[in-house]
Amino acid sequence: MTVYSTFSLRIHVLKYWPRNFLLLLLLVLIPSFAVAQTPVKDVELLEPFIVRMNWISFDVINGRIGTRYIRRMQSRSLSLHHATLAADEHAVVRARGSEFSLKYELTSPRQSLQLQYDTSGVFQFDYQRFDSKDDSGVSYRINMRQSQTYPLEIKITQLNQTRIYQSNQIWLAMFAMPVKDRQCLTDVLGRLSPRLDLELRFTEVLENLSRIALYQRGGDYVAIRSLIKQLNSPRFTERQLADRELRMFGRPLIGFLNGIDQSTLSTEQRVRLRRISQSLISGESDTLEQVVTSLRMNPITWLVLANRGDLVLRRGALAQIEKLKGLPPGTLQLQLPQRLIAADVKIRLR
């Protein structure tokens, strides 16, 4: 190529380059500008930073909310602001030896959460989910309170209706909930501990207990009732013997003890049974086998299942209660009203 032709080619390219460049620039900027001007339809729910930073992990232990893991740390406070989500988070930790307490708060246009936990057994939260413009009907509020000395209480508000569930075990409270309430609860607890799998575990427990109600007659609880009565014997040796034999039943006995009408026990019996129950409680996470074996000996379990509206399940559940109370078969089918209450099924030992 000659020097002249090379020079002409460069002139030709420079002549058309500004126009092509402007066209390319417009093709890039116009879609970007359009995307920037399009309003965001929904904002993803923010995961609490105590979960993201693995400060604490919750689990179900003996039917109540406890901790699987607590990160070692000193007392501190931390605040975060998320400009893109218009969200704020704040946490305060107090750590002293084996004692640990946490207060956490999250506020955003889509949700709010106030949570409190300490190692003495206190666990409570107040969670609100707000409607988005394009996702109406998902607004709800859940308030859950748990302490070492009081039953677990869950208050759920949806569509201007509030329902309150009280129980010593979260599993029993979930049995009594309609599907939508239970899904709201498991969703919130799942956000606080992503590996909790509470809905899956609940389904497995319910399936196993339903099979027991429908296809098994239940155990023979005459020996347990007899041993508990023996705890009130005037002879110390007999009381001690009954105490040792009751402990040999292991963790499943906890459910039976929870179903006893305390007003039918003497002071001696109440004190001993409280000690036995405390000795059988473990600090391990609830497994399917542990939950089923303990709940099947609790008449309140079958009370809740009998009230779920399934007539076949109700018949099997009432049969289990009759076994626990030592009643002839069919007694409860004839005597009890359609909707049972706890007083109807408590085990009386007088």
| Domain count for the chain | 2
CB of 212 closer than 8 Å to CB of 318: no
Over residues 243-260, mean pLDDT: 88
Assess if residue 130 is contained within a domain. Answer: yes
pLDDT band at 350 (very low <50, low <70, confident <90, very high): low
My answer on whether 79 and 151 are in the same domain is yes
Q: Is the pLDDT of residue 219 over 70?
A: no
Assess if residue 3 is contained within a domain. Answer: no
Q: What are phi and psi of 296, to 5 degrees?
A: -65, -20
Q: Is the pLDDT of residue 176 over 70?
A: yes
How confident is the model at residue 3, as a pLDDT?
38
My answer on whether 182 and 73 are in the same domain is yes
pLDDT band at 141 (very low <50, low <70, confident <90, very high): very high
Assess if residue 25 is contained within a domain. Answer: no
Structure token pair of residue 325: 């109370």
Over residues 305-324, mean pLDDT: 86
Range of the structural domain that residue 279 is part of: 212-345
d(CA 307, CA 341): 9
Q: Three-class SS string for 306-350?
A: HCCCCHHHHHHHHHHHHHHHCCCCCHHHHHCCCCCCHHHHCECCC
My answer on whether 251 and 280 are in the same domain is yes
CB of 118 closer than 8 Å to CB of 66: no
Taking only the tens place, the pLDDT of each residue in 97-107 is: 889 999 999 99
**Is residue 9 classed as helix, strand or coil in its secondary structure?**
helix
My answer on whether 237 and 329 are in the same domain is yes
